[in-house]
Chain A
Amino acid sequence: MTPAGSLLIADDLHKAYGPTVALDGAEFSIHPGEVVAVMGPSGSGKSTLLHCLAGIVPPDSGSIVYNGREMATMSDAERSALRRSEFGFVFQFGQLVPELTCVENVALPLRLNGTSRKEAERTALTWMERLEVDDLRGKRPGEVSGGQGQRVAVARALVTSPRVLFADEPTGALDSLNGERVMDLLTDAARSTNAAVVLVTHEARVAAYSDREIVVRDGKSRDMERVV
C-alpha cells in the first residue's frame, strides 16, 4: 500500500544504541483501520521501530509523520499528550497496576486525561464487555489468568478510542487458545473503531490476523506487499 492517505508514515529511520545499529533506513506506513504486522527475528529492530513510531524513543535521523505532523517538531509535552490520547499500547507482560482493580486499570488512561471516576469506569466497563472480561471488574490483576489479564490490558489500551494501537508481542506470554482469543477480540475491537494497529510479532499465526506485513531484518524494513 502506498503511503498516500496514511495516518502514520516513517521514512529512512536510523537508530543506534552505542555501537549497535537497531534501525538502518527503516520505512513504515499505516492507514486508519489497517492492521500491519511487523515481523522479523529477535534483535532485528522491530521493537525499536515500534518505540520510534510511538514517540517513545526518538530516532537518530529520519522522519516520522503522524496525522500530517512531523513528530520531531513536537515538544515532549505534545508527544506525551499524543501517547495518552491518540495512541494505545499493549505489551507482552506487566502492564496492569497490581494495586488497582481491573476496572480501575482500564479506566486509568481516562482518569489521567481528567475524566471523572464515574464516567471513566462506565466507559471502561463497556470496553471490558467487548473484551469479555466485565465479570473481572472487581478483581485485582494478581487474581486473574494471563489470558484474562491480557484482555483487560487490551481494553485499557482501547478505552481512550486511540487512533493507533501499538501491540508488542501481545500474545507472547499466552498459550495458543488464549492468544487467538486475544487476537480475535483485539482486531475486532480495533476494526470497529477504525483504529490502526501496529502489531509487532515473531509468530506467523498472530501475523495472520493482519492485513499486510513488513519484515525487519538488520534494521531494514521490507514491505511484503511489494514482494508479491
Chain B
Amino acid sequence: MSIGHTLLGLLESGPRHGYDLKRTFDEKFGHDRPLHYGQVYSTMSRLLKNGLVEVDGIEAGGGPERKRYAITDAGVTDVERWLATPEAPEPYLQSTLYTKVVLALLTHRNAADILDTQRAEHLRMMRILTDRKRRGDLADQLICDHALFHLEADLRWLELTAARLDRLAEVVAR
C-alpha cells in the first residue's frame, strides 16, 4: 500500500495534524499493522518537499511543535492519478509451493503430503479470517473477504495439483 497516497487522500477532507493522520489511518486501514509515528513524519516531510502538502499552521505547546498539514492542488492531482491507475495483478509465477512440490517429486518424497499440509494450513487461516469477519464491521468483512478469496484461489490450485500429481511426477522424472 502507498502510505503517502493514503495520507494525502485523508488530507483531502481538510487539514490535519500528524497524530490525527496516524489515528485515522490506523482506524481505517491499519488493522493489524498500525503506522509508526516516525513513518508518518518522514512521509509528511517527503510530501512537503515534493509540494504535495503544505504546512497550514503550527501549534506551539508544552511538547514538540505540532504542524498541521493541508493538501495542495498538486497533491489532489497526485491522489487522483494514483486512484485511477490500476494495480498490477500479481500472478505469482514463481510459487514457492510449486517449487516444493517439484522438489519433493525429484527427491522421491511424498508430494501429496506437502499439498495436504499446506491445504490444512490455508484452511486454518481461512477459519481465523471467517471468525474475524463474523465478529467485525463492514470494513473488517471486506478486508477479510479479500484475503479469503486469495486463499481460496490457492486452495483450488492445491486441489488441482493434487489431482495432477501422477502426471507431474512423470514430467519431472524425464
Contacts and interface: CB of A to CB of B under 8 A. Distances in A.
B124 interface: yes
Interface residues of B, number: 23
Nearest to B124: A228
A97 B116 CA distance: 41
A228 B162 CA distance: 17
Contacts of B55: none
A91 interface: no
Interface stretch (A47-55, A56-64, A150-158, A209-217): A209-217
Given A209-B130, A210-B127, A204 B152 contact: yes
B7 interface: no
Given A41-B159, A41-B163, A208-B129, A227 B123 contact: no
Interface residues of A, number: 17
Contacts of B121: 228
A201 to B, nearest CB: 11
Interface string A187-228: 000000000000000011101111001010100001011011
A213 B20 CA distance: 45
Interface of A: 41, 184, 203-205, 207-210, 213, 215, 217, 222, 224-225, 227-228
Nearest to B148: A205
Given A41-B159, A205-B126, 5 more contacts: A205-B148, A208-B127, A208-B129, A224-B120, A227-B116
Contacts of B134: 184
B119 A224 contact: yes
A205 B152 CA distance: 7
A25 B103 CA distance: 30
Interface string B147-166: 01101100110010011000
Contact of B126 (A208, A217, A224, A225): A208
A224 B123 contact: yes
A222 B123 contact: no
Contacts of A210: 127
B117 interface: yes
A141 B121 CA distance: 40
B116 A204 contact: no
A208 B116 contact: no
Contact of A208 (B113, B119, B120, B148): B148
Interface string B99-115: 00000000000000100
Contacts of A224: 116, 119-120, 123
B122 interface: yes
A207 B158 CA distance: 15
15 contacts: A204-B122, A205-B126, A205-B130, A208-B126, A208-B127, A208-B130, A210-B127, A213-B123, A215-B119, A222-B116, A224-B123, A225-B120, A227-B117, A228-B121, A228-B124
Contacts of B117: 227-228
Contacts of A208: 123, 126-127, 129-130, 148
Contacts of B130: 205, 208-209
6 nearest A-B residue pairs (beta carbon)? A208-B126, A208-B130, A224-B120, A204-B155, A228-B120, A227-B120
Nearest to B159: A41
A46 to B, nearest CB: 13
A204 B151 contact: yes
Contacts of A228: 117, 120-121, 124
Contacts of A222: 116
Contacts of A203: 152
Contacts of A215: 116, 119
